[in-house]
Structure 1
Amino acid sequence: MDVLSDVITVLRIGQPRSARVAWHAPWAQQFVSVPGSAGFQIVLEGPCWLIAPDTGPVPLAAGDIVFRPHGRGHLLADSPSTPPGAPACDPDDPQLQRYATDVVGASADTGVPATVILCGAYRLDPARAHPLLNDLPELIHLPAHLGRHPELRATVSLLATELEHRRLGTDAVVPALLDILLMHILRAWLDRNPTPETAATGWAAALNDPVTTAALQAIHRDPARPWTVATLAAEAGLSRAPFARRFATLLGQPPLTYLTWWRMTTAARLLRQSDTSVSAIAGRVGYTSEFAFANAFKRQYGIAPGRYRRSS
């Protein structure tokens, strides 16, 4: 798998949840702060405002997408002056456990224009969070622009249709579309961020840098290979020392440190989600000795692989 696909796999646990909701003015919906989650709202119809402690009031229009990757609370409302009155929403709210169309606030026959929002949440595992997540800002706002991010817009359209008109297969289609939506949101954020020549450091710069990306792709494609700084530099097309400096400058850690972290993260996922033997997992992440693997895993997680599996 490529780096971004692996990030999605590592980030999310459980089933993502989504609902299509319509509000009639005046309305204000509080979304509570939920550590270990990430949430999004997509405006399908009508205007609204996003109000959060870490940002000023943000006007939203039809087609706008907002993503809160760190689970911070915020308010959506028809106006910044409308006090919150709706029940708080969190990822475990029944409203997000069913795929439904709800009308909240005044009745639909008042003639007051509705604001229709596609909202959803992803459960994350803080113990396995990829460092890319830490680099994401508190708020990713993708304003609607005609012809911009066509794949993202197409996914939104498919998801909205599936939620509005439940059919056979919806329970399989919606989670898949939510994963695709998260992928396209991250792609859009990466695409609009600066290149390494104009940025300082971080994953946005690294994934827009062909040299660093080539090394990361090699690690993710084959974590079991006995990589050295020299062999990773060869994959990246640089000599050893310039490559090591470039990697560490952008990502804040040496190449082999990231390699070890990714191997242990992969091993932890296999221990949790499969019945593969510990010795086989050791081989899949580059260890010929189960003893050496167990020691490396314990240094990373503070617990032996077998106990980690039982506790999970």
Structure 2
Amino acid sequence: MDALTDLLDGPRARGAFLLRSVLAPPWAIRIADRAPLTLLYPVDGDAWVVPDREPPVRIGPGDIAVVRGPEPYTVAGDPATPPQIVIRPGQVSQTPDGDELCEEMDLGVRTWGDTAEDTPGAGVLISGTYQMDGEVSRRLLAALPQVLVLPADAWHSPLPELLFAEVVRDEPGQEVVLDRLLDLLLIAVLRAWFARPEAGAPGWYAAQGDPVVGPALRLLHERPAHGWTVAALAAETGVSRAALGRRFTELVGEPPMAYLTSWRLALAADLLREPDATIAAVARKVGYGSPFALSAAFKRVRGVSPQEHRRTRGTGSAAAVS
């Protein structure tokens, strides 16, 4: 398993919010739902993603945009159009004055808007919103710009059209089908994006192709609970300890053991979201000899204890120590 696989394994949609929006021009929607990640797929008409602190980004039919939250932003047919609709947490739609719009704009199964789809100039947009809040996913989100756009001519995949066809179906198990399609689409888009020169991929991504650092990264991700030292890692990869340490730090941006610590704690933070997992069990899974060792490392690096982290993530009562 490589670093990208581990990070892409994090997004697991569970009841993701998928919607086909049909909007008459001029239209603009303020997105203030605090969701961590949203995919946007214009089917008809251009759309603009307008972050608060960055220039507007155009997306045309067939392009895919990935927008990283939780900062608010606006999606509009024209970046100069003021928002007429605000999407708040829980996917509640309102006017800027706070009047409810959910029922008024309901057009059928996962379809929402203010006009018919065949209205001249209407914008048709598919959106898929994750509600995830896992720490492994946060490592992935940290590697992304607030808005990335994968142009339609930069890749070829049947997934966008398949999602477009499935989003309006009302069949048994349809939510699970849509969750998995959204996951597949996100993974395909990010894989294609990271391979592009303009992506500015993080150091660990470029390092995966290095003959020295790549194998070391794979070992750390395949066996995070192993009692790794730089010497043991160097022996496994067939280079000297000094050569591995120097090359790893140069490409990844931090020494091997610092990278391993951050990866173990990211895994631990994600595992702690499970209400039945004890700190002792989590410690064993990520390579710490005792719950106290994990707690000390967690508090030192993240500034809070595992119990405090669990409480702030809304996962129920603090984990037991044994």
When normalised by structure 1's length, the TM-score is 0.80
**Which amino acid is 1:25 matched to?**
P
Match of 1:164 among 168, 171, 179: 168
1:186, distance to aligned residue in structure 2 (A) = 1.6
* Counterpart contact for 1:39–1:68, Cα < 8 Å: yes
| Residues in 2 aligned to 1:77 and 1:303: alpha-carbon distance in whole angstroms | 40
Tell me which moved more, 289-298 or 242-251.
Answer: 289-298
| Residues in 1 aligned to 2:24 and 2:238: alpha-carbon distance in whole angstroms | 57
* Counterpart contact for 1:65–1:141, Cα < 8 Å: yes
**Which amino acid is 2:203 matched to?**
G
| Residues in 2 aligned to 1:218 and 1:165: alpha-carbon distance in whole angstroms | 43
| Residues in 2 aligned to 1:93 and 1:268: alpha-carbon distance in whole angstroms | 26
Superposed CA deviations along residues 244-296 of structure 1, whole A, max 9, x for unmatched, are: 12222333221111212222222333333163444343322223344434433
1:161, distance to aligned residue in structure 2 (A) = 1.6
Superposed CA deviations along residues 164-211 of structure 1, whole A, max 9, x for unmatched, are: 22211111111122222221222112111379xxx7963443345454
Equivalent runs, 1:39-58 vs 2, <5 Å: 39-58=38-57
* Residues 101 and 307 of structure 1, relative CA distance in 2, 3 Å threshold: closer
Q: What secondary structure, in the 3-state scheme, does the structure 2 residue paired with 1:25 have?
A: coil
Match of 1:134 among 138, 142, 150: 142
Residue 123 of structure 2 aligns with which residue? 115
| Residues in 1 aligned to 2:227 and 2:11: alpha-carbon distance in whole angstroms | 26
Unpaired runs of at least 5, structure 2: 94-101, 311-316
**Which amino acid is 2:20 matched to?**
R
* Counterpart contact for 1:215–1:236, Cα < 8 Å: yes
* Residues 16 and 249 of structure 1, relative CA distance in 2, 3 Å threshold: farther
* Residues 154 and 237 of structure 1, relative CA distance in 2, 3 Å threshold: farther
| Residues in 1 aligned to 2:239 and 2:112: alpha-carbon distance in whole angstroms | 58
Q: State the superposition RMSD in angstroms.
A: 3.3
* Counterpart contact for 2:30–2:72, Cα < 8 Å: yes
**Which amino acid is 1:296 matched to?**
A
* Residues 249 and 116 of structure 1, relative CA distance in 2, 3 Å threshold: same
| Residues in 1 aligned to 2:17 and 2:38: alpha-carbon distance in whole angstroms | 9
* Residues 127 and 287 of structure 1, relative CA distance in 2, 3 Å threshold: closer
* Counterpart contact for 2:135–2:266, Cα < 8 Å: no
Match of 1:193 among 191, 197, 200: 197
Residue 22 of structure 2 aligns with which residue? 22
Residue 270 of structure 1 aligns with which residue? 271
**Which amino acid is 1:39 matched to?**
T
Match of 2:114 among 105, 111, 120: 105
Unpaired runs of at least 5, structure 1: none
1:251 is the counterpart of 2:252: yes
